[in-house]
Amino acid sequence: MRVLVTGGAGFIGGNLAEAFLRDGHDVTVVDNFEPFYDLGIKEHTVERCEAVAGETDGTYALVRDDIRDADLVDDLVDGTDAIVHQAAQAGVRTSVDEPRKVTEINVDGTVNVLQSAVDADVERVILASSSSVYGKPEYLPYDEDHPNEPVSPYGVTKLAKEHFARVYNELHGLPTVCLRYFTVYGPRMRPNMAISNFVSRCLNGEPPVIYGDGEQTRDFTYIEDVVEANRALLESDAADGEVMNIGSTDNITITRLAEEIRDQLAPELELVYEEAREADAKHTHADVSKARELIGYEPTYDIREGVGAFIEWYEENREWYEPLVRSS
């Protein structure tokens, strides 16, 4: 299968591209290499994908460009069987500071992808959404029928992305499905995420820094579970036109997360608390029963197992990954 992965040099997109290559697919990646964090991590992702392509039957092509260019997207989508649309300007706080830029990338870029997919008669479009679409919880865990009242421009753009996918599915019969990811973590994750930051600080004898009172909760999803959900959708026509949560088996307070990492690496350290950051959701927790029913999704990592796996990877790759984390 010929697969286009937008944002395919990033954390989630890069792990997906690598997995698809291992499955023998021909993968084209487009990524604009936005310097949101140290680009050395993306360069390592590209090197990893090139190495995997050399070991399998799949082919790998990298295009360093931007999905806001409609003509470029038309060219990339032509001849493609499936699109896995991960490209986005990430960062809740970035969206508060630069809402126009985030809207151009996340919404206008998505419309380019969807329109090109219709014109090229693409067989499947899988779009990355986010738990940020929910906003303030009326109840937990969130199911897909929970009201959507995002509390950041980032969440608004993700919700708009879902609505455009629905409209293209209904008007044009484009086979779309949107996945609402809940705080994904794992190898090559962004350095400004809580888990990578806590691990780095503890390994270097520095206390984890928590923003706010630490009682906010998150549903952390290990990257391998996200990969398996996308694989399932790439290999079937299940869930056409649907939106579904992709989360883990539980949620955890940020204080407890920091304690878990601290206890594994540097139990002598004390936690440090600083002022809360604006526009962050207070709580997230996924009900994944819909994904379980439609695609057989079953998260396999709880937070202790996932953190342990990430710490092991971090220590094995510390020589190149840690300097990039600590410089970002």
The order of strands in the sheet holding 26-31 is 60-64, 26-31, 2-6, 82-85, 124-130, 176-181, 243-246
Q: Residue 266 gets which letter from DSSP?
A: -
Rounded to an integer, the average pLDDT of 92-114 is 94
Contact 1, 40 (CB under 8 A): no
Quick check: is 273 catalytic? no
Determine the pLDDT at residue 279: 66
Q: Give the start-to-end residue ranges of the domains of the chain.
A: 2-182+223-246+281-300
pLDDT of residue 282: 84
For residues 8 and 10, give the distance between their C-alpha atoms in angstroms, rounded to a whole number.
5
For the stretch 68-78, pLDDT in tens is: 999 999 999 99
Write the single-letter amino acid at 275. Answer: E
pLDDT tens by residue, 206-240: 999 999 999 999 999 999 999 999 999 998 888 99
What does the pLDDT look like over 278-327, one tens digit per residue? 767 788 999 999 999 999 999 999 999 999 999 999 999 999 999 999 88
What is the distance between the alpha carbons of residues 250 and 247, in angstroms, rounded to a whole number?
Answer: 8
* Omega within 30 of 0 (cis) for the link into 137: no
The burial of 118, by beta-carbon neighbours within 10 Å (0-12 exposed, 13-18 middle, 19 or more buried), is given as middle
Q: Tell if the pTM clears 0.85, that is, is over it.
A: yes
- What separation in angstroms does the CA of 53 have from each of 22, 30, 42, 58, 59? 7, 16, 16, 6, 6
Which two structure tokens, joined as six digits, stand for 175? 């086979």
The domain defined by 2-182+223-246+281-300 folds into: Rossmann fold (3.40.50)
Candidate list 60, 154, 168, 321, residue with the active-site label? 154
Residues 246 and 297 sit within 8 Å (Cβ to Cβ): yes
Q: How confident is the model at residue 41 (pLDDT cuts 50, 70, 90)?
A: very high
